[in-house]
């Protein structure tokens, strides 16, 4: 995916504004001696920005407009260290709403729908983002916020909500409650718009089947507007990303170089028209890939795959970038296996190798099973691991989250 002429012009405008504003990125540009961006080559020389830069700018150091133009701030949760504060102008809020409205439209949601919004309202971007898009679309928002399952279900029945917006874990909890209470016939839900947590195919199918609804994955992060910068369409072949507002790259997290379309790597985003806090080449640490080719829906907005993990979890085996999540997904596709597994990476005879330990019961041919798993990893991810199948109960269990990945190359 190449950067277009129009996008280059937009980036250049952002660069000029950042230099003039002299915020953290403006200073980076000056240090690097960059004054303008005319070509793709110029663009690829622009420095990356990181979450730490944003923390260092706390509280208002990201602001790239005079304060009278800022109408709102949002903040990412500061679980480690200082939070990040993102200032928005009226246009930023409006643009975000437009993007979110487009997400709903891609999910086939219309102004006749009633959208029950369960993500939280407040400093973070979740609830209010879903709300803005809903109002722009002209649909009816039921702004519940999180928790209070009793009331959620009451409103869902009485107001006949047709769309549920939730995290995957909350959607699953609601699905289970509905099942338990035997009230499925009173629920009018048709679609679910689910925040971009990492979630597996198994969980997705459970929510889908128990609620009997279509599911749409929405992507976004507070630093870049919030949720709503991309969503999958009805063909469910990856999330379309709104490239008229953002330019998205996939890089090799180790080298920082762009990888070819179709290969996995870290998502890096540049905002094209953001005013309050423009970000250039922001490293999200989310792992995905560009899906090559065109979508059946005819949309020309590029697509990315589901988020496969965080770049901090990445391993490089035989030159292929691998994430534990990808291995997990392959293993999960074998019903014969237990949920326990271990992945060991070692360096033998000048080559990285991966050994995968899995468990199954005695009724399965262990050798044949190992061969099938290795073949599936090869076809899905691109290298052949050594697979060892063991008897059920052999792998250690832990009350806490078990350690499953052992990188022995650096021990
Ligand atoms: Zn599509």
At a CB cut-off of 8 Å and minimum separation 6, what does 171 contact?
164, 192, 194, 207, 211
Contact assessment for residue 331 and residue 389, using Cβ atoms and an 8 Å cutoff? no
Task: Please tell me the distance from the alpha carbon of residue 320 to that of residue 329, in angstroms, as a whole number.
Answer: 17
What CATH number does the domain located at 89-310 have? 3.40.50.12780
Cα of 292 from ligand 1 centre, angstroms: 12
Cα-to-centroid distance, 297 and ligand 1 (Å): 4
Q: Which two tokens stand for residue 27?
A: 């200073």
Residue 346 has pLDDT above 70, yes or no: yes
Q: How far is the CA of 377 from the centre of ligand 1 (A)?
A: 27
The least confident of 217-221, 282-286, 351-355 is 351-355
At residue 250, does pLDDT exceed 80?
A: yes
Q: Tell me the CA end-to-end span of the chain in Å, nearest whole number.
A: 39
> In angstroms, what is the span from residue 236 Cα to ligand 1's centroid?
7
**pTM for this model (two decimals):** 0.85
- How many Å lie between the centroid of ligand 1 and the Cα of residue 55? 36
Q: What's the gap in Å between 105 CA and the centre of ligand 1?
A: 12
Q: How far apart are CA 220 and CA 207, in angstroms?
A: 21
Q: Are 239 and 228 in contact (CB under 8 A)?
A: no
- When pLDDT is cut at 50, 70 and 90, the band that residue 198 belongs to is low
Residue 251 has pLDDT above 80, yes or no: yes
Q: Read off the pLDDT of residues 77-90 as tens digits, 9 standing for 90 and up.
A: 665 678 899 999 99
Alpha helices in 333-381 (DSSP H): 366-381
DSSP secondary structure string, 151-202? HHHHHHHHTT--EEEE-HHHHHHHHHHHHHHT-GGG----EEEE------HH
The pLDDT of residue 82: 82
Provide CATH 3.40.50.12780 ranges for the chain.
89-310
> Following CA atoms 339, 263, 386, 348 in sequence, which dihedral angle do they give, to the nearest 10 degrees?
-130
pLDDT in tens, 56-102: 999 999 999 999 999 999 998 665 678 899 999 999 999 999 999 99
pLDDT exceeds cutoff 80 at 411: no
Give the helix/strand (H/E) hosting 31.
helix 24-31
Q: Which helix (H) or strand (E) holds 27?
A: helix 24-31
With tokens 């290969």, the residue in question is 263
Q: How confident is the model at residue 284 (pLDDT cuts 50, 70, 90)?
A: very high
Band (pLDDT 50/70/90 cuts) for residue 410 is low
CA 296 / ligand 1 centre spacing (Å): 6
**Backbone φ, ψ for residue 364 (5° rounding):** -105, 140
pLDDT one-digit tens code per residue, 348-387: 777 888 999 999 988 899 999 999 999 999 998 889 999 9
**In terms of DSSP bridges, do strands 290-291 and 303-304 run parallel, antiparallel, or are they unpaired?**
antiparallel
**Of 108 and 329, the one with more pLDDT:** 108
pLDDT score recorded for residue 115 = 98
Q: Which two tokens stand for residue 175?
A: 């699905």
| Higher pLDDT pick, 321 / 220 | 220
Q: Which residues pair with 291 in a beta bridge?
A: 303
| Alpha carbon of 294 to ligand 1 centroid (Å) | 8
Q: How far is the CA of 268 from the centre of ligand 1 (A)?
A: 21
**pLDDT band at residue 33 under the 50/70/90 scheme:** very high
| pLDDT score at 398 | 64
Q: How much distance in Å is there from the Cα of 393 to the middle of ligand 1?
A: 44
Average pLDDT, the chain: 92
The CA angle 226-230-236, to the nearest 5 degrees, is 140
Q: Give the DSSP letter of residue 258.
A: B
CA of 291 to the centre of ligand 1 (A): 11
Domain with CATH 3.30.300.30 in the chain: 315-410
Give the architecture-level CATH label for domain 315-410. 2-Layer Sandwich (3.30)
CA of 231 to the centre of ligand 1 (A): 9
Q: How far is residue 57's CA from residue 230's CA, in Å, rounded to a whole number?
A: 27
Give the residue with greater pLDDT, 307 vs 283: 283
Q: Kindly give the distance from the C-alpha atom of residue 302 to the centroid of ligand 1, in angstroms, as a whole number.
A: 9
| Token pair in block for residue 109 | 């949601």
Report the candidate in 175, 153, 159, 165 with the shortest Cα–Cα distance to residue 197.
165
DSSP letters spanning 56-106: HTTTTTT--S-GGGEEEEEEE--SSSS-EEEEEEHHHHHHHHHHHHHHHHH
Residue 306 alpha carbon to ligand 1 centre in Å: 14
Quote the pLDDT of residue 203.
Answer: 77
Distance 242 CA to ligand 1 centre (A): 12
Cα(300) to ligand 1 centroid in Å equals 8
The model's pLDDT over 138-190, given as tens digits with 9 standing for 90+, comes to 999 999 999 899 999 999 999 999 999 998 888 988 998 999 999 999 999 99
Separation of 241 CA from ligand 1 center, angstroms?
10
């Amino acid at each position: 995916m190449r950067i277009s002429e129009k996008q280059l012009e937009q980036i250049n405008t952002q660069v000029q504004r950042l230099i003039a504003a002299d915020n953290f990125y403006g200073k980076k540009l000056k240090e690097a001696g960059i004054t303008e961006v005319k070509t793709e080559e110029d663009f690829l020389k622009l420095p990356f920005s990181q979450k730490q830069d944003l923390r260092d700018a706390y509280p208002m150091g990201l602001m790239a407009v005079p304060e009278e133009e800022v109408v709102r701030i949002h903040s990412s949760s500061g679980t480690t260290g200082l939070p990040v504060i993102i200032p928005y102008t009226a246009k930023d809020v409006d643009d975000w709403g437009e993007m979110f409205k487009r997400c709903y439209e891609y999910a086939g949601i219309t102004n006749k729908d009633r959208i029950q919004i369960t993500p939280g309202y407040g400093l973070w971007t979740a609830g209010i983002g879903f709300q803005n898009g809903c109002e722009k679309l002209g649909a009816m928002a039921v702004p519940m916020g999180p928790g209070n399952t009793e009331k959620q279900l009451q409103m869902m029945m009485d107001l006949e909500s047709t769309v549920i917006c939730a995290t995957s874990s909350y959607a699953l909890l609601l699905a289970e409650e509905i099942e338990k209470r035997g009230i499925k016939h009173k629920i009018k839900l048709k679609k679910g718009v689910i925040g971009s947590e990492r979630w597996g195919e198994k969980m997705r199918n459970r929510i889908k089947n128990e609620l009997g609804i279509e599911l749409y994955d929405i992507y976004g992060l507070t630093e870049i507007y919030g949720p709503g910068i991309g969503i999958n369409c009805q063909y469910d072949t990856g999330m379309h990303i709104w490239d008229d507002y953002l330019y998205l790259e996939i890089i090799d997290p180790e080298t920082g170089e762009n990888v070819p379309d179709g290969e996995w790597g870290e998502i890096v985003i540049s905002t094209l028209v953001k005013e309050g806090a423009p970000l250039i080449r922001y490293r999200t640490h989310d792992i995905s890939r560009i899906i090559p080719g065109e979508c059946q829906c005819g949309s020309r907005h590029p697509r990315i795959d589901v988020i496969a993990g965080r770049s901090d979890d990445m391993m490089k085996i035989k030159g292929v970038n691998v994430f534990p999540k990808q291995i997990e997904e392959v293993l999960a596709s074998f019903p014969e296996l237990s949920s326990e597994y271990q992945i060991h990476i070692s360096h033998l005879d000048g080559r990285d190798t991966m050994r995968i330990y899995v468990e199954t019961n005695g009724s399965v041919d262990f050798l044949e099973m190992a061969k099938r798993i290795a073949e599936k990893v090869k076809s899905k991810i691109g290298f052949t691991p050594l697979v060892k199948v063991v008897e059920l109960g052999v792998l250690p269990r832990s009350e806490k989250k078990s350690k499953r990945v052992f990188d022995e190359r650096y021990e």
